[in-house]
């Protein structure tokens, strides 16, 4: 499995010939609606030319479901788009010969041998989800934007190996302290910090988890 952080909450998973993109934000769309939300590092354009098999959209906020970014991926061959309800209502307007799947909490969808399952997320989009999937014997859990809430763990059935979670503590996200508690609760061996550094000056050093991984934008996560 090769995993690349696309910045903010965006991830690219590549395994066994399948490419999975989660919540890509590769534009400056947020800055256009809020002058405070300017990108602090540029987009690496090579990632605009990735041809994904699957796109997962955890919720309908612009830094997660961005029509400008998605336009790069939905202009060509058919893609399966797994999107929580509000994101689904938004993204399916982009049309094309794509399979837009409403991916709400509890929904499972199998693509080329990988089963994706939507789990609860506590966020200001009431239909926000996280996603869990297993590949090559490893269970990956991308929380999406969420606060620490017992409902999340009630929804999570899997034994997680690697969790990807927000640490910025704003916009109804966990802060670094609660992200540590969250990672411990999942039992994950590795916890990858996300949702920092693009609109703020956080560098991930606030996240004190024994199995922490602090990624660099547009670099492989090892």
Residue whose C-alpha is closest to residue 122's, from 63, 86, 172: 172
The answer as to whether 220 is a domain residue is: no
Q: Strands across the sheet with 80-83, in order?
A: 2-7, 10-15, 18-22, 54-57, 80-83, 99-102
Residue whose C-alpha is closest to residue 166's, from 186, 153, 182: 182
Q: Which domain holds residue 187?
A: 2-213
The strand pairing partners of 213, in sequence order, are 192
The answer as to whether 100 is a domain residue is: yes
The answer as to whether 190 is a domain residue is: yes
The answer as to whether 146 is a domain residue is: yes
Q: How many folded domains does the chain comprise?
A: 1
Q: What is the pLDDT along the chain (222 residues), one digit of tens a residue?
A: 999 999 999 999 999 999 999 999 999 999 999 999 999 999 999 999 999 999 999 999 999 999 999 999 999 899 999 999 999 999 999 999 999 999 999 999 999 999 999 999 999 999 999 999 999 999 999 999 999 999 999 999 999 999 999 999 999 999 999 999 999 999 999 999 999 999 999 999 999 999 999 999 999 998
The answer as to whether 148 is a domain residue is: yes
For residue 145, the 8-state DSSP code is S
CATH of the domain at 123: 3.60.15.10
Question: Distance between CA 90 and CA 93 in Å, rounded?
Answer: 6
The answer as to whether 137 is a domain residue is: yes
The mean predicted confidence, pLDDT, of the chain is: 97
Question: Distance between CA 93 and CA 71 in Å, rounded?
Answer: 11
Question: What's the pTM?
Answer: 0.97
Residue 115's φ and ψ, nearest 5 degrees, are -100, 120
């Amino acid at each position: 499995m090769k995993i690349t952080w696309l910045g903010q909450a965006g991830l690219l998973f590549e395994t066994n010939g399948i490419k999975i993109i989660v919540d890509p934000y590769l534009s400056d769309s947020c800055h256009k609606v809020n002058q405070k939300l300017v990108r602090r590092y540029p987009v690496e354009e090579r990632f605009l030319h990735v041809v994904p098999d699957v796109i997962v959209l955890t919720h309908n906020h612009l830094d997660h479901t961005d029509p400008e970014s998605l336009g790069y991926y939905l202009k060509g061959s058919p893609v399966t788009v797994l999107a929580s309800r509000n994101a689904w209502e938004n993204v399916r307007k982009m049309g094309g010969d794509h399979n837009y799947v409403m991916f709400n909490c509890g929904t499972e969808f199998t693509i080329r041998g990988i089963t994706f399952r939507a789990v609860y997320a506590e966020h200001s989009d009431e239909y926000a989800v996280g996603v869990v999937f297993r590949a090559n014997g490893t269970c990956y859990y991308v929380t999406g934007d969420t606060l620490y809430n017992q409902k999340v763990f009630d929804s999570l059935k899997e034994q997680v190996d690697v969790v990807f979670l927000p640490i910025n503590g704003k916009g109804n996200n966990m802060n670094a302290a609660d992200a540590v508690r969250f990672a411990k609760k999942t039992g994950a061996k590795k916890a990858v910090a996300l949702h920092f550094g693009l609109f703020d000056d956080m560098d991930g050093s606030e996240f004190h988890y024994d199995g922490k991984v602090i990624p660099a934008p547009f670099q492989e996560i090892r």
